[in-house]
Structure 1
Amino acid sequence: MEFTLLDNGTDSLKKAKQSIEQFEALHREHSYHHLKDAIIFLNHGIEILLKHILSKRNESLIFTDLKVYMDAKKHLKGMPPKVKGFGIHLDRNKPTVFDVPANKIGNKKLTTVTLREALERVELLCDIDIPEDFRNAVFVVNEYRNDLTHHSIKLTAADEDKLITVLKTLYDNTLDFFEQHIPGIMEKIDDKRFELTQAEWEEIQREMQEFYHERAMSDLSEDDFR
């Protein structure tokens, strides 16, 4: 089988939507794992699809260190075909840069960019406009994902409701964004949007504006206030 970045990303988006729907359908005390899954899958799906856009321009754009990637590409040319394992293509058993031994690239690790780095590269290196509401919602969900992965989160019932609204809005904005930049993506995903009330939509816009303001203020140095 072959599982591409596009397959991987759209699969995560589908699972994110399913998790949101399950969280709302079940009693809260028995559905918190669905909220966690929605955050993680939505974050992952967006990151992978951004990398898909970058890789279509040039595979090198998804890697953190261009020199390490180039060293890996150099040694890749002399490697024999693969007989098994990850990275085998359906039409040819060619190894990938991830198959190059670490000692061939200075014992360095070949890593790909983070979600935030991918978003920045899509905007600056691919000249694709990133809508502000999409960007801010991505940052909010990414922070929740990081808290879940590296620490913990504690939410009140009101916080849960706001988070679900954020996730729904981001899911819809995600479909709108990738539909413009990935041909045929809507054939691979559930294109039915979530329906938000006017009050919910206005509330989420305020939340995003507050987040953007707080983020902008946190980026200022002490010298900016002198």
Structure 2
Amino acid sequence: MKLSLLANGIDSLKASYNSLEDIDYLVEGGEHRVKDAILSLNHANEILFKLLLKQRAECLVFVDIKAYMNAKEEIRSRDKSNVFEVKPGLQTIGISEAIKRLELLCDIEVCSYLKRSLDYLKQKRNQIMHYEINLNEGEFKALITKLKNCYENSVRFFSQYIEGLSDKVEDARFELYEQDLIDDPDVEAMVDEAYYDYLAGLSEQQ
């Protein structure tokens, strides 16, 4: 299994899109779709902000840059490929710090409407992750609208820095079931080619 920052962020962005899309067609059970959308959208933004930082300097992704440098030095002496292999306790930054570093150290301005959306998203995410959430029907509908706006704001912002973002989101979360191969054996070759093209496209963005 290999999941780069780009692939990871795109996957979560697609997961949030799927959850929000499904809500419109559900008569009951929308609560868990909203929960999934909140968690996936928060994760997508955090990971994609880290991607932008890594593209400029990987050390900016970590809380303690000195600890990161020590891990990089140890990687060379131990012939490892990932800092977490030698320093599993390393901590990466969260969304708020990522935005601050992008703006102050990388001269990338994060638009105010996305910041407001993410502040609201963080509030709801914390309620779900750490305690409970209780909304009436009107508040629940308003939450869904705000989540959709946050998704659109996220796509609009990251599309400026990730080429072909919308296409990548559309192609993400590809799945192939065993029954598909039984029903049509030729689909395997076509799927493999399409999937490898997709992975190659992601790799070119690293």
| TM > 0.5 fold call | yes
1:125-144 matches, cutoff 5 A? 125-144=105-124
**Equivalent-residue separation in structure 2 for 1:101 and 1:61 (angstroms):** 16
- Structure 1 match to 2:170: 190
Shift of 1:46: 0.7
Determine what percentage of the aligned residue pairs are the same residue. Answer: 40
Deviations 1:66-114 (CA, angstroms, capped at 9, x unpaired): 111111111111113xxxxxxxxxxxxx421101156xxxxxx201001
- Structure 1 match to 2:126: 146
- Structure 2 match to 1:14: 14
Query: RMSD of aligned C-alpha atoms?
Result: 1.5
**Equivalent-residue separation in structure 2 for 1:159 and 1:148 (angstroms):** 15
Instruction: Find out whether 1:115 has 2:115 as its counterpart.
Output: no
Unaligned ranges ≥5, structure 2? 172-206
Shift of 1:190: 3.3
**Equivalent-residue separation in structure 2 for 1:76 and 1:35 (angstroms):** 41
Residue-pair matches, total: 171
- Structure 2 match to 1:25: 25
- Structure 2 match to 1:74: 73
**Equivalent-residue separation in structure 2 for 1:101 and 1:21 (angstroms):** 40
- Structure 1 match to 2:63: 64
- Structure 2 match to 1:3: 3
Higher helix share: 2
Question: Which structure would you say has the larger RCO, counting Cα contacts within 8 Å and 6 or more residues apart?
Answer: 2
Question: Are 1:79 and 1:95, in contact at CA under 8 Å, matched by a contact in 2?
Answer: no
Question: Are 1:13 and 1:45, in contact at CA under 8 Å, matched by a contact in 2?
Answer: yes
Question: Are 1:123 and 1:129, in contact at CA under 8 Å, matched by a contact in 2?
Answer: yes
**Equivalent-residue separation in structure 1 for 2:147 and 2:10 (angstroms):** 16
- Structure 2 match to 1:155: 135
Q: Of residues 97, 100, 121 in structure 1, which corresponds to 2:86? A: 100
- Structure 1 match to 2:149: 169
TM-score of the superposed pair, with normalisation by structure 2: 0.79
